[in-house]
């Protein structure tokens, strides 16, 4: 069903279109899986993309995961499916298995994105759009700051991450709610969003709300702008690190070696990236890598050995630095 691009809520539509164009999130003719939870953010996203579909020649598929985590889950799933089908979209709904236990949100997220990826593959969709807003980015950045994340982590949610796009990343959460009310769209408020047992709700209530009370909307947008600059800086350093690794790393069956003279001349940010690339994509490696960098700066004696998670070991010799054991992923690593 073709929607008019003008009318109520057009200011949000226009901003999303500008974001999509500036960040190259969408191209004419794209097939897009739109993740719709039933909350105001994702309901707003679907409606905005539906209004933009004629201009961008988009084909939209709606995907919803019923996690079964609240009394209203079945009702919300039915409402999302009925509304989306009534608007003319192909709708894909799945009931998640029992996810109770530790790391509930992480496992729910993994299942959710696995489903979205499957629907995208089945329908030749090159994009998966989610309703993350500017507020979500700020909350993610602050949560990761508390956990000591590196710059790439502090960047929070990016405009694009592989095939996933976030067209609402310049829109505030309050704006999506107003959009739905102005356009007359029904939505559901997830009770977990205010449950302080969950980290995101705690960050929203105890960090973001006081920040906005003191510095207003400008303060929230300033944090989001800082996160974007961190993303750009981290990407630039990662690119330099990858080129350096290709130039100075020597790899064989025993692991990865660097000439000490070349390594010592690097700033810590780039030396860290070389060690990360040599150690590979393993969890909890940060402490070992930072300990090795500290040892280098402190002039540790030749033969010093630092254990790293994943079975790797960093050995500091007079003329070289070697990383042995572990997966040795030369493509870099994710925190």
Q: What is the pLDDT of residue 332?
A: 39
Q: Which residues contact 52 (CB under 8 A, 6 or more apart)?
A: 5, 13, 16, 17, 20, 26, 58
Q: What is the pLDDT of residue 107?
A: 83
Helix 10-22 and helix 173-183, axial crossing angle in degrees, nearest 10: 130
Cα 293 to Cα 153: distance, rounded to the nearest angstrom: 20
Q: Which residues contact 149 (CB under 8 A, 6 or more apart)?
A: 335
Q: What is the pLDDT of residue 87?
A: 92
> Low-confidence residues of the chain, pLDDT below 50?
328-335
Cα 16 to Cα 117: distance, rounded to the nearest angstrom: 23
Q: What is the pLDDT of residue 327?
A: 56
Structural domains of the chain in order of their starting residue, each with its CATH number: 10-231 (3.40.50.620), 249-324 (3.30.465.60)
Cα 318 to Cα 335: distance, rounded to the nearest angstrom: 30
CB-count exposure of residue 267 (10 Å: 0-12, 13-18, 19+): exposed
Could you read off the pLDDT of 49-61 as tens digits, one per residue? Answer: 999 998 899 999 9
Cα 161 to Cα 259: distance, rounded to the nearest angstrom: 34
Rounded to an integer, what is the distance from CA 80 to the centroid of its chain? 24
Q: What is the pLDDT of residue 335?
A: 38
CA-based torsion, 288, 292, 295, 301: positive or negative:
positive
Q: Judging by DSSP bridges, how do beta strands 250-252 and 304-308 pair with one another?
A: unpaired
Could you read off the pLDDT of 153-200 as tens digits, one per residue? Answer: 999 999 999 999 999 999 999 999 999 999 999 999 887 777 787 888
Q: What is the pLDDT of residue 198?
A: 81
Q: What is the pLDDT of residue 102?
A: 66
Q: What is the pLDDT of residue 163?
A: 96
Question: Torsions phi, psi of 301, nearest 5?
Answer: -65, 155
């Amino acid at each position: 069903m073709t929607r008019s691009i003008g009318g109520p809520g057009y200011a949000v539509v226009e901003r999303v279109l500008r974001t999509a164009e500036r960040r190259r999130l969408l191209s004419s003719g794209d097939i897009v899986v739109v993740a719709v939870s039933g909350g105001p953010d994702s309901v707003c996203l679907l409606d905005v993309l539906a209004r933009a579909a004629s201009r961008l020649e988009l084909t939209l598929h709606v995907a919803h995961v019923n996690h079964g985590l609240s009394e209203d889950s079945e009702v919300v799933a039915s409402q999302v499916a009925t509304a989306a089908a009534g608007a003319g979209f192909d709708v894909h709904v799945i009931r998640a298995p029992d996810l109770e236990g530790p790391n509930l949100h992480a496992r729910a997220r993994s299942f959710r994105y696995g489903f979205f990826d499957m629907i995208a593959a089945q329908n030749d969709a090159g994009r998966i759009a989610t309703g993350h807003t500017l507020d979500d980015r700020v909350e993610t950045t602050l949560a990761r700051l508390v956990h000591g994340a590196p710059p790439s982590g502090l960047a929070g949610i990016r405009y694009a991450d592989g095939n996933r796009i976030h067209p609402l990343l310049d829109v505030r959460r309050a704006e999506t709610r107003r959009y739905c009310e102005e356009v007359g769209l029904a939505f559901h408020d997830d009770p977990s969003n205010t449950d302080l047992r969950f980290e995101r709700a705690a960050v929203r209530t105890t960090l973001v709300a006081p920040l906005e009370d003191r510095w207003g909307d400008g303060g929230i947008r300033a944090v989001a702008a800082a996160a974007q600059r961190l993303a750009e800086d981290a990407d630039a350093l990662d690119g330099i690190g990858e080129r350096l690794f290709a130039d100075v790393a020597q790899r064989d069956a025993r692991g990865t070696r660097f000439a000490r003279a070349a390594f010592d001349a690097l700033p810590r940010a780039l030396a860290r990236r070389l060690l990360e690339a040599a150690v590979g994509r393993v969890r909890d490696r940060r402490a070992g890598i930072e300990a090795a960098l500290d040892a280098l700066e402190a002039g540790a004696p030749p033969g010093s050995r630092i254990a790293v998670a994943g079975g790797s070991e960093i050995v500091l010799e007079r003329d070289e630095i070697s990383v042995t054991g572990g997966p040795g992923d030369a493509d870099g690593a994710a925190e």
